Structure 1
Amino acid sequence: MTRPPPTGHRVADPVRRWTAIGSAVTLLVTAYFLVPEQAFGPERPVLSWTVFALGLALIALLILRHIRDVLLEREGTHPAFAIIVLMCATVLVFAVAYRALARDPGEFDGLATRVDALYFTVVTLATVGFGDITARGQSARVVVILQIVYTFVFLTAAATAVTTRIRSRVTSRSAGRRAGRRAR
């Protein structure tokens, strides 16, 4: 009966990864609250729409890259951790867009702060729709539709990839343990 040598990095790797995720999400949320509100909005429509479109496109490409890594079962990659950060980035991009749109009178009712924008984004993502904040203007409604479609296509695919990766890892570890018990 030969045992593989103990590897200390197996315990540390998940801790480092979760710490990295926490740090990345904290950095993103901090940036969300620190970006000057005047940077985007009705005063700068071309810049606002361009940054919004490019941000979503970049996140979509990165999500697709990590989904590919899951589907190809690439060793040495950790797409689940990256996908979690990209999902948070998606929420924040939509929250910035909603807050910028809300500065244009008539686009939203009830959305007055960054927290309101973040709240509305999460409520829309969860398809809860409490009705306390409503999209009234055409631009706001288009962005809400875009968020729903984007969530359905990219975030659902990303979540499916993460669960596929986790299920695969759990299954292979369980099979390894069963084989190890039979060998004894």
Structure 2
Amino acid sequence: MSENPGSPPLDFRAGAWLLCAFTLLMVGYFTLPLEWFGDRRPVLSWLVFAGALGGMTWLMVVKIVGVVLGTAKRPVVWLAFLIFLAMTIFSASYYVMGTHRAEFAGLETRLDALYFTVVTMSTVGYGDITPAGQSARLVVVLQIGYNFVFLAAAAGTASQAVRSSIERRVRREE
């Protein structure tokens, strides 16, 4: 229950949904047989990666446009989910490429791939895992471009949604 009678109660369902979605993404990431992709099926691997990236980008654009137009429901939750999804997609692609020693130096496990994705997303870049092959470098460039364009737009949009929500709440209380 909210302390201020004029403000809506906390939406624990949205937070629980986000936690469940993140948990399912991580369980899927750590258990699905990603070894099925890679050198044995390169065309299929690139098509699945492109499809996942394209679908995620389309969802991100739809949610951002919804916030700008004022029609989006729970935009912050959706944008956070899409960031988790991006993290999972890039981690999976790095893991698949990391199974081939020529593509990455220092990437051996799924946790290594997830760590590399988070380090790349945060632009920290410790240097302990490095892309060595051309395919790995291409995907890293795509991730950096994705981070600059879509994640920055998502963060700005989420900020705008939170600010608008606070402004509406203040106006109702006046």
How many angstroms does 1:39 deviate by?
Answer: 2.0
Q: Does 1:100 pair with 2:96?
A: yes
Partner residue, 1:122: 118
Runs of 4+ in structure 1 deviating by more than 6 angstroms, as ranges, are none
Out of 54, 58, 62, the position equivalent to 2:59 is 62
1:55-94 to 2 correspondences below 5 Å: 55-74=52-71, 77-94=73-90
Write the distance in 1 (CA, Å) between the matches of 2:150 and 2:39: 28
Secondary structure class of the residue paired with 1:11:
coil
How many angstroms does 1:44 deviate by?
Answer: 1.4
1:19-58 to 2 correspondences below 5 Å: 19-58=16-55
Write the distance in 2 (CA, Å) between the matches of 1:64 and 1:122: 22
Write the distance in 2 (CA, Å) between the matches of 1:41 and 1:105: 12
Write the distance in 1 (CA, Å) between the matches of 2:112 and 2:69: 40
1:92-171 to 2 correspondences below 5 Å: 92-171=88-167
How many angstroms does 1:173 deviate by?
Answer: 1.0
Write the distance in 1 (CA, Å) between the matches of 2:83 and 2:51: 16
Partner residue, 1:182: none
Task: Give the letter aligned to residue 88 of structure 1.
Answer: F
RMSD: 1.6
Question: What are the superposed Cα offsets for residues 65-94 of structure 1, whole Å, 9 maximum, x if unpaired?
Answer: 11011001126x112111111110001100
How many angstroms does 1:139 deviate by?
Answer: 0.7
Write the distance in 1 (CA, Å) between the matches of 2:80 and 2:34: 26
Could you tell me which runs of 5 or more consecutive residues in structure 2 were left unpaired when the two chains were aligned. none
Using structure 2 for the length normalisation, give the TM-score: 0.93
Task: Give the letter aligned to residue 42 of structure 1.
Answer: D
Write the distance in 2 (CA, Å) between the matches of 1:131 and 1:146: 18
Could you tell me which runs of 5 or more consecutive residues in structure 1 were left unpaired when the two chains were aligned. 1-5, 180-184
Using structure 1 for the length normalisation, give the TM-score: 0.88
- What is the identity percentage for the equivalent residue pairs of Structure 1 and Structure 2? 43
How many angstroms does 1:166 deviate by?
Answer: 0.2
Write the distance in 2 (CA, Å) between the matches of 1:103 and 1:112: 7
How many angstroms does 1:123 deviate by?
Answer: 0.3
Write the distance in 1 (CA, Å) between the matches of 2:82 and 2:38: 23
Write the distance in 2 (CA, Å) between the matches of 1:63 and 1:164: 15
Partner residue, 1:17: 14
The structure with the larger Rg is: 1
